[in-house]
Structure 1
Amino acid sequence: MWALGSCGVCCLGIAVFTCGVVMQVGAWTYYYSEEDYEWDDARTYCQTFFTDLVAIQNKEEIEYLNRTLPYHGKYYWIGIRKLRGIWTWVGTKKALTKEAANWATGEPNNRKFNQDCVEIYIKRSSEAGKWNDEPCTKKKKKALCYKVSCQPLICGLHGDCVEVIQSYKCECHPGFEGDKCENAVQCPILEPRGAYMNCSHPFGDFRYNSTCTFWCPEGFERRGADELQCLADRQWSVETPTCTAITCPELRAPEHAELNCSHLHGNFAFGSICDFSCQPGFELMGSQSHECMATGNWTGDIPRCKAVTCPVLSAPEHGELNCSHIHGNFTFGSTCDFSCLPGFELMGPVSHECTAMGTWTGDTPQCKAISCSVLSAPEYGELNCSHIHGNFTFGSTCAFSCQTGFVLMGPQSRECMAKRTWTGDTSRCKAVTCPVLSAPKHGELNCSHLHGNFTFGSICDFSCQSGFELIGPESCECTAMGTWSKNTPQCKAITCPVLGAPEHGELNCSHIHGNFTFGSTCDFSCLPGFELMGPVSHECTAMGTWTGDTPQCKAITCSLLTAPEHGELNCSHVYEKFTFGSICDFSCQTGFELIGPQSRECMATGTWTGDTSQCQAISCPVLDAPSHGHLNCSHTHGNFTFNSTCSFSCKEGFIQMGAEMLRCSATGNWTRHPPVCEEDSAAFLKQVLVYTSTSALAAIGLVLSGTLIALLAKQLSDREEKKKLLNPTSDLGAPGIFTNAAYDSTL
Structure 2
Amino acid sequence: MWALGSCGVCCLGIAVFTCGVVMQVGAWTYYYSEEDYEWDDARTYCQTFFTDLVAIQNKEEIEYLNRTLPYHGKYYWIGIRKLRGIWTWVGTKKALTKEAANWATGEPNNRKFNQDCVEIYIKRSSEAGKWNDEPCTKKKKKALCYKVSCQPLICGLHGDCVEVIQSYKCECHPGFEGDKCENAVQCPILEPRGAYMNCSHPFGDFRYNSTCTFWCPEGFERRGADELQCLADRQWSVETPTCTAITCPELRAPEHAELNCSHLHGNFAFGSICDFSCQPGFELMGSQSHECMATGNWTGDIPRCKAVTCPVLSAPEHGELNCSHIHGNFTFGSTCDFSCLPGFELMGPLSHECTAMGTWTGDTPQCKAISCSVLSAPEYGELNCSHIHGNFTFGSTCAFSCQTGFVLMGPQSRECMAKRTWTGDTSRCKAVTCPVLSAPKHGELNCSHLHGNFTFGSICDFSCQSGFELIGPESCECTAMGTWSKNTPQCKAITCPVLGAPEHGELNCSHIHGNFTFGSTCDFSCLPGFELMGPVSHECTAMGTWTGDTPQCKAITCSLLTAPEHGELNCSHVYEKFTFGSICDFSCQTGFELIGPQSRECMATGTWTGDTSQCQAISCPVLDAPSHGHLNCSHTHGNFTFNSTCSFSCKEGFIQMGAEMLRCSATGNWTRHPPVCEEDSAAFLKQVLVYTSTSALAAIGLVLSGTLIALLAKQLSDREEKKKLLNPTSDLGAPGIFTNAAYDSTL
TM-score range, shorter chain: 0.3 to 0.5
| Secondary structure of residue in 2 paired with 1:61 | helix
Deviations 1:323-343 (A, max 9, x none): 999999999999999999999
| Secondary structure of residue in 2 paired with 1:682 | helix
Contact 2:586 2:613 in 1 (8 A): yes
Question: CA separation in 1, counterparts of 2:401 and 2:380?
Answer: 9
Per the TM alignment, residue 511 of structure 1 is displaced from its structure 2 partner at its CA by 1.6
Question: CA separation in 1, counterparts of 2:443 and 2:488?
Answer: 12
Deviations 1:688-739 (A, max 9, x none): 2333452267536776777666654554444334333322333797253323
Contact 1:520 1:540 in 2 (8 A): yes
Per the TM alignment, residue 538 of structure 1 is displaced from its structure 2 partner at its CA by 0.8
Task: Give structure 2 stretches of 5+ with no counterpart.
Answer: none
Q: Residues 146 and 480 of structure 1: is their aligned pair in 2 closer, same or farther, counting only changes over 3 Å? A: same
Contact 1:462 1:474 in 2 (8 A): yes
Question: CA separation in 2, counterparts of 1:592 and 1:226?
Answer: 102
Contact 2:347 2:368 in 1 (8 A): yes
Q: Residues 581 and 730 of structure 1: is their aligned pair in 2 closer, same or farther, counting only changes over 3 Å? A: same
Contact 2:471 2:490 in 1 (8 A): yes
Normalization by structure 2: what TM-score?
Answer: 0.47
| Secondary structure of residue in 2 paired with 1:731 | helix
Contact 1:40 1:136 in 2 (8 A): yes
Deviations 1:641-662 (A, max 9, x none): 2233323233443211011222
Q: Residues 520 and 599 of structure 1: is their aligned pair in 2 closer, same or farther, counting only changes over 3 Å? A: same
Between the two proteins, what is the percent identity of the paired residues?
100
Question: CA separation in 1, counterparts of 2:715 and 2:200?
Answer: 70
Contact 1:337 1:352 in 2 (8 A): yes
Q: Once structures 1 and 2 are overlaid, which stretch shifts more, 445-454 or 247-256?
A: 247-256
Contact 1:404 1:480 in 2 (8 A): no
Contact 2:286 2:302 in 1 (8 A): yes
Contact 1:688 1:705 in 2 (8 A): no
Q: Once structures 1 and 2 are overlaid, which stretch shifts more, 31-40 or 722-731?
A: 31-40
Per the TM alignment, residue 188 of structure 1 is displaced from its structure 2 partner at its CA by 54
Contact 1:26 1:165 in 2 (8 A): yes
Contact 2:451 2:457 in 1 (8 A): yes
Contact 1:344 1:367 in 2 (8 A): yes
| Secondary structure of residue in 1 paired with 2:284 | strand
Q: Residues 408 and 678 of structure 1: is their aligned pair in 2 closer, same or farther, counting only changes over 3 Å? A: same
Q: Residues 321 and 73 of structure 1: is their aligned pair in 2 closer, same or farther, counting only changes over 3 Å? A: closer
Contact 1:4 1:16 in 2 (8 A): no
Q: Does 1:715 align with 2:715?
A: yes
Normalization by structure 1: what TM-score?
Answer: 0.47
Q: Residues 314 and 391 of structure 1: is their aligned pair in 2 closer, same or farther, counting only changes over 3 Å? A: same
Deviations 1:665-695 (A, max 9, x none): 2221112110012232222222223334522
Contact 1:648 1:660 in 2 (8 A): yes
Deviations 1:411-450 (A, max 9, x none): 2345899999986443112344444443332222223333
Q: Residues 322 and 125 of structure 1: is their aligned pair in 2 closer, same or farther, counting only changes over 3 Å? A: closer
Contact 2:81 2:87 in 1 (8 A): yes
Per the TM alignment, residue 465 of structure 1 is displaced from its structure 2 partner at its CA by 1.6
Contact 1:507 1:522 in 2 (8 A): yes
Which structure 2 residues correspond to residues 428-447 of structure 1 after superposition, within 5 A? 428-447=428-447
Deviations 1:165-210 (A, max 9, x none): 9999999999999999999999999999999999999999999999
Q: Residues 86 and 277 of structure 1: is their aligned pair in 2 closer, same or farther, counting only changes over 3 Å? A: closer
Question: CA separation in 2, counterparts of 1:678 and 1:463?
Answer: 122
| Alignment RMSD (CA, Å) | 23.1
Q: Once structures 1 and 2 are overlaid, which stretch shifts more, 607-616 or 249-258?
A: 249-258
Q: Residues 623 and 221 of structure 1: is their aligned pair in 2 closer, same or farther, counting only changes over 3 Å? A: farther
Per the TM alignment, residue 382 of structure 1 is displaced from its structure 2 partner at its CA by 3.5
Question: CA separation in 2, counterparts of 1:153 and 1:670?
Answer: 89
| Secondary structure of residue in 2 paired with 1:745 | helix
Question: CA separation in 2, counterparts of 1:205 and 1:724?
Answer: 118
Deviations 1:66-113 (A, max 9, x none): 999999999999999999999999999999999999999999999999
Per the TM alignment, residue 321 of structure 1 is displaced from its structure 2 partner at its CA by 27
Per the TM alignment, residue 477 of structure 1 is displaced from its structure 2 partner at its CA by 2.9
Which structure 2 residues correspond to residues 547-626 of structure 1 after superposition, within 5 A? 547-626=547-626
Per the TM alignment, residue 549 of structure 1 is displaced from its structure 2 partner at its CA by 2.5
Deviations 1:528-584 (A, max 9, x none): 011112221011111222112222222222233343343333333333343222222
Q: Residues 708 and 281 of structure 1: is their aligned pair in 2 closer, same or farther, counting only changes over 3 Å? A: farther
Contact 1:671 1:734 in 2 (8 A): no
The corresponding residue for 1:462 is 462
Q: Once structures 1 and 2 are overlaid, which stretch shifts more, 386-395 or 668-677?
A: 386-395
Q: Residues 18 and 458 of structure 1: is their aligned pair in 2 closer, same or farther, counting only changes over 3 Å? A: closer
Q: Once structures 1 and 2 are overlaid, which stretch shifts more, 354-363 or 199-208?
A: 199-208
Contact 2:188 2:235 in 1 (8 A): yes
Contact 1:104 1:130 in 2 (8 A): yes
Per the TM alignment, residue 595 of structure 1 is displaced from its structure 2 partner at its CA by 0.9
Deviations 1:243-284 (A, max 9, x none): 999999999999999999999999999999999999999999
Q: Residues 253 and 644 of structure 1: is their aligned pair in 2 closer, same or farther, counting only changes over 3 Å? A: farther
Per the TM alignment, residue 452 of structure 1 is displaced from its structure 2 partner at its CA by 3.9
Contact 2:729 2:736 in 1 (8 A): no
The corresponding residue for 1:630 is 630
Question: CA separation in 1, counterparts of 2:644 and 2:583?
Answer: 35
Contact 2:4 2:10 in 1 (8 A): no
- How many residues align? The count is 747
Contact 1:659 1:732 in 2 (8 A): no
Per the TM alignment, residue 507 of structure 1 is displaced from its structure 2 partner at its CA by 1.1
Per the TM alignment, residue 506 of structure 1 is displaced from its structure 2 partner at its CA by 1.2
Per the TM alignment, residue 604 of structure 1 is displaced from its structure 2 partner at its CA by 0.6
Q: Once structures 1 and 2 are overlaid, which stretch shifts more, 462-471 or 232-241?
A: 232-241
Deviations 1:208-237 (A, max 9, x none): 999999999999999999999999999999
Contact 2:77 2:120 in 1 (8 A): yes
| Secondary structure of residue in 2 paired with 1:32 | strand
Contact 1:352 1:362 in 2 (8 A): yes
| Secondary structure of residue in 1 paired with 2:81 | strand
Q: Residues 195 and 111 of structure 1: is their aligned pair in 2 closer, same or farther, counting only changes over 3 Å? A: closer
Contact 1:4 1:18 in 2 (8 A): no
Q: Once structures 1 and 2 are overlaid, which stretch shifts more, 271-280 or 709-718?
A: 271-280
| Secondary structure of residue in 2 paired with 1:261 | strand
Q: Residues 620 and 291 of structure 1: is their aligned pair in 2 closer, same or farther, counting only changes over 3 Å? A: farther
Contact 2:18 2:35 in 1 (8 A): no
Contact 1:50 1:146 in 2 (8 A): yes
Question: CA separation in 2, counterparts of 1:26 and 1:232?
Answer: 31
| Secondary structure of residue in 2 paired with 1:695 | helix
| Secondary structure of residue in 2 paired with 1:584 | strand
Contact 1:659 1:730 in 2 (8 A): no
| Secondary structure of residue in 1 paired with 2:430 | strand
| Secondary structure of residue in 2 paired with 1:322 | strand
Q: Residues 673 and 338 of structure 1: is their aligned pair in 2 closer, same or farther, counting only changes over 3 Å? A: farther
Q: Residues 541 and 717 of structure 1: is their aligned pair in 2 closer, same or farther, counting only changes over 3 Å? A: same
Contact 2:459 2:476 in 1 (8 A): yes
Q: Residues 303 and 6 of structure 1: is their aligned pair in 2 closer, same or farther, counting only changes over 3 Å? A: same
Choose 1 or 2 for highest CA Rg.
Answer: 2
| Secondary structure of residue in 1 paired with 2:119 | strand
| Secondary structure of residue in 2 paired with 1:547 | coil
Question: CA separation in 2, counterparts of 1:34 and 1:742?
Answer: 56
Question: CA separation in 1, counterparts of 2:220 and 2:571?
Answer: 58
Contact 2:4 2:11 in 1 (8 A): no
Q: Residues 290 and 520 of structure 1: is their aligned pair in 2 closer, same or farther, counting only changes over 3 Å? A: farther
Deviations 1:277-306 (A, max 9, x none): 999999999999999999999999999999
Contact 2:378 2:429 in 1 (8 A): no
Per the TM alignment, residue 322 of structure 1 is displaced from its structure 2 partner at its CA by 27
Per the TM alignment, residue 613 of structure 1 is displaced from its structure 2 partner at its CA by 1.5
Deviations 1:453-488 (A, max 9, x none): 444433332222222222232223333444443333
Per the TM alignment, residue 156 of structure 1 is displaced from its structure 2 partner at its CA by 57
Q: Residues 372 and 265 of structure 1: is their aligned pair in 2 closer, same or farther, counting only changes over 3 Å? A: same
Q: Once structures 1 and 2 are overlaid, which stretch shifts more, 264-273 or 432-441?
A: 264-273
Q: Residues 376 and 471 of structure 1: is their aligned pair in 2 closer, same or farther, counting only changes over 3 Å? A: same
| Secondary structure of residue in 1 paired with 2:585 | strand
Q: Residues 422 and 295 of structure 1: is their aligned pair in 2 closer, same or farther, counting only changes over 3 Å? A: same
Question: CA separation in 2, counterparts of 1:698 and 1:230?
Answer: 139
Per the TM alignment, residue 311 of structure 1 is displaced from its structure 2 partner at its CA by 43
| Secondary structure of residue in 2 paired with 1:714 | helix
Q: Residues 420 and 559 of structure 1: is their aligned pair in 2 closer, same or farther, counting only changes over 3 Å? A: same
Contact 2:10 2:21 in 1 (8 A): no
Question: CA separation in 2, counterparts of 1:624 and 1:170?
Answer: 85
Q: Residues 495 and 103 of structure 1: is their aligned pair in 2 closer, same or farther, counting only changes over 3 Å? A: same
Contact 2:370 2:394 in 1 (8 A): yes
